[in-house]
Amino acid sequence: MKIPTSIDELLYNEQTYGGLNLVYENYIVNSTTTTTGAQSAFIAQRLLKEFIMPAVTAPVVGALVTELYCSNVNNVITGLEYNLGTWDRSSGTRFSAGVAMPSKAIRNAPAVQMAGNLVFLFVEATISSSPAVATISCLDQDGNARTINVTIATSTQINTCYYLPTYFPQGMTGITAVTNISVAATEPTAGKFSIRAVLPFNVSTGTFPQSIPGNPLMNPIIEPGEKIAQYKLGSTQSAAGSAGLNHIHLTPVT
Amino acid sequence: MITKHSDFIKQVSDNKFWKHVFKTDRTNTSGLTSSNNFSTVASAGLAPLTLPASSYGWIMTMASIASNSIGSNILIAEVLDFGQLDLNTNVFTPGADSAGFGNKFQFGASTPHSGIVMMELIGAALNGTGNQVNITYVDQDGNAAETGRNVVLSNGSVVGSAGILSLSDVDTRVRRITGATKVAGGTTQGVLQFYGIKNSAMIPVASGTMFSQDFIINSFAPIKFPSAANLRLYTIAGNVAGALLGWLDLVEETP
C-alpha cells in the first residue's frame, strides 16, 4: 500500500483513479435516555445513516478521507465502525458474534492490529424496564481476556450510547474483539444492543471543514466493504431529527 | 490532466483560468420543509450561475463568499434537471437529465454515480395547506422503485424555498428519481423542481464576514465541473434575507 504523502501524490491519485466527493444527509433518529453513573456528563448519539465503501479496481486498494465536513450538527465524530458483537433479547442465544478489529497500515508502515478505544454500547432496541448489568467478555489491546461490566439504565431508549472505555478495567486501553455478552441481575424482557468500535477520522464542528492537508492526521485507510458511521458527542442531547449535510472527500489509495 | 500542483500554476500563467464573480440578493426567508421529516432545511436557491465553455472542464481551486447578514453553510452545486411536479395538476414531468447522474470514473473504474436531490419551489408560492409529496427513486445501489418519506411542505412557502429530498432509512443517495406525486393537501399553486446535485462544495460563511476556502492545499477536495455547467447556490439551515457577494476560482483542466 502506497499512502499519498504529498499534495502532488494526492492529486495524481485523485485524477488518475477518480476520487469520490461523498455527499449525503445524516440525522439523529431519536433522542436518548440520559445515561447513568459515570456516564452522566457524557452523552453520545449515533446518527442513523451509514456509508459502505464500494468495490475498487486494481491498483486501487482503498481510499483516504482528505476532507470532512458535516453542517449543522456539532461535535460529530466520523470514522470507521466495527460491530464487535450483539446482545438481542429476542434471540435464543442472546449473543451473536461480530467482527474482530482489523489490521491496518498507517503511514506506509506494515499493517498492525487495531484496538478500539472509542467504543460504544449502542442500544438498537429499547431495553425494557429492569435495570441490568451487561457483562462483556473481550480481548484487550494485547490479546488478554478481559471483562467489562456496564449498568444499563432502566428503560434505556433506542440510540443511547454508553461510552465503554469508562468501564475498562485498569491496564486496558483498547478492545480487539468481543467473545461473549451476557446480561444478569434481572434480565430485561426486551431490548437489543451492540458493541461498536470506531476508528475516528476527525470531529466535525459543523462550522468548518477538517482536512488532511490543513491538519495532517493518521487517518485509517478505508477498504472495500468497510463502514463509515457517525456519533454525536456532547453533554447535551440532540433532538430527534437533528440533521446535517455531509461532505466527505475520499481520495484513492493504491 | 492536472496531476501536480505546478500544473495549476502553469495553467494560470497561460491564462487558462476563470474567476466567476457573482452577487445575489435573497428576500425570501422560509424553508420548504420546516417539519422536513428529518431533512436538513436548505433555503432559497440563490443565483443560477453558468460556467464558461471549456474543452476539458474546470477544477475549482477556491471559493470566496461575503455575506451581509446570511450566516450559513453555503452549498455550491452543479445541478441536473431531474424533473418537475406541478402541485396544482399533480403531474410529474421528467427533466432533461431524468436519466440520472450516469457513470463516474471512481476508484479505478467507471461506476454508477449517485447523489442528493434538491427540491425547489418555482413558479408560484404555495397557497394551499397540508401539502405532502412522495418521490420514488433508484437508490445508490441500483434498487428501483424505492420510496422516500412523505415530505410535508410548509404552508405558504415562497418561490425559491428548497429542501433536500428525504430518503428511506437505509439509503444515503439516489441515482435518479422515477416519479413524484402529491399525496395530501388541497388545491395549490406552485411547481416543485427536482435538481440532482452532481458535483458540489460546501463552505461556511458567517454573517457580516467574507470567507475563502481553497480546495487543493488547505483542504483537499478537488471539485471538477464540466464545460458550461449549471451551478446553483443554497444556504443550508440559514433562513434569513440578505446578499451574497463572491467568486469562484476555476482552473481549466488539461487534455
Q: What is the 3-state secondary structure (H, E, C) of B62-109?
A: EEEEEECCCCEEEEEEEEEEEEEEECCCCEEEECCCCCCCCEEEECCE
Instruction: Give this complex's ipTM.
Output: 0.92
Rounded CA gap, B5 and A10, in Å? 10
Taking an 8 Å cut-off on Cβ atoms, the answer to whether B38 and A24 are in contact is no
Give me the pLDDT at residue B39, please: 45
Taking an 8 Å cut-off on Cβ atoms, the answer to whether B3 and A7 are in contact is no
Residues with Cβ < 8 Å from A92, sequence gap 6 or more? none
Give me the pLDDT at residue B74, please: 86
The whole-number average pLDDT for the span B4-14 is 96
User: Which residue from B minimizes the CA distance to A229?
Assistant: B172
Residue B88: pLDDT over 90: yes
Give me the pLDDT at residue B30, please: 66
Q: How many CB atoms lie within 10 A of CB A188?
A: 21
Nearest residue to A5 (alpha-carbon basis) of A135, A107, A130, A134: A107
Pick from B39, B73, B116: which is nearest to A71 by CB? B73
Rounded CA gap, A18 and A60, in Å? 10
Angle at A76 between CA B216 and CA B140, to 5 degrees: 70
CB–CB of A123/A156 below 8 Å? yes
Give me the pLDDT at residue A232, please: 87
Give me the pLDDT at residue B175, please: 97
Pick from B73, B204, B219: which is nearest to A211 by CB? B219
pTM, whole model, 2 decimals?
Answer: 0.92
Q: Going residue by residue through chain A, which has 254 residues, state the pLDDT in tens, using 9 for 90 and above.
A: 788 888 999 999 999 999 999 999 888 888 877 665 555 546 788 999 999 999 999 999 999 999 888 886 677 889 999 999 999 999 989 999 999 999 987 766 788 899 998 999 999 998 887 778 999 999 999 999 999 998 888 788 888 888 899 899 999 999 999 999 999 878 888 999 999 999 998 877 666 677 777 777 667 899 999 999 999 887 677 787 777 888 999 999 99
Around A121, how many Cα atoms within 13 Å sit in the side-chain half-sphere? 31
**Quick check: A17 contacting B, CB < 8 Å?**
yes
What is the C-alpha R_g of chain A?
19
Q: How many CB atoms lie within 10 A of CB A92?
A: 5
- Cell numbers representing residue A58 in the block: 486494481
Helix (H) or strand (E) holding A175: strand A175-185
Residue B114: pLDDT over 90: yes
Check residue A214 and report its DSSP letter.
T
What would the pLDDT profile of B157-178 be if each residue is shown by its tens digit?
888 888 888 888 889 999 999 9
Helices (H), chain B: 5-13
Give me the pLDDT at residue A107, please: 67
Best interface-test mutation with B: which of A2, A15, A222, A254 has the largest number of B CBs within 10 A? Answer: A15
- Cell numbers representing residue B161 in the block: 424555498
Which amino acid is present at A76? V
Find out whether the peptide bond into B94 is cis, omega within 30 degrees of 0. no
What percent of chain B clears pLDDT 90, i.e. is strictly above it? 55
Rounded CA gap, A74 and A232, in Å? 7
- Cell numbers representing residue A180 in the block: 461473549
Give me the pLDDT at residue B28, please: 62
Give me the pLDDT at residue B156, please: 83
B163 Cα distance to chain centroid:
10
B53 Cα distance to chain centroid:
20
User: Which residue from B minimizes the CA distance to A54?
Assistant: B107
CB–CB of B137/B117 below 8 Å? yes
CB–CB of B174/B115 below 8 Å? yes
The whole-number average pLDDT for the span B97-103 is 97
Rounded CA gap, A120 and A112, in Å? 22
**Chain A residues closer than 8 Å to B36 by CB:** 241, 243
Pick from A10, A17, A208: which is nearest to B107 by CB? A17
B177: left (phi over 0), alpha (psi -120 to 50) or beta: beta
Strand partners, A27: A243
Give me the pLDDT at residue B208, please: 83
Taking an 8 Å cut-off on Cβ atoms, the answer to whether A209 and B115 are in contact is no
**Chain B residues closer than 8 Å to A29 by CB:** 169
- Rounded to the nearest angstrom, the minimum Cα separation between B156 and chain A is 22
Which band of pLDDT confidence, cut at 50, 70 and 90, is reported for residue B36? very low
Residue B38: pLDDT over 50: no
Helix (H) or strand (E) holding A11: helix A7-13
Question: What's the mean pLDDT when you consider all of chain B?
Answer: 87
Rounded CA gap, B145 and B223, in Å? 31
Nearest residue to B202 (alpha-carbon basis) of A253, A43, A93, A21: A21
Give me the pLDDT at residue B37, please: 39
Q: What is the 3-state secondary structure (H, E, C) of A174-228?
A: CEEEEEEEEEEECCCCCCEEEEEEEEEEEEECCCCCEECCCCCCCCCCECCCCEE
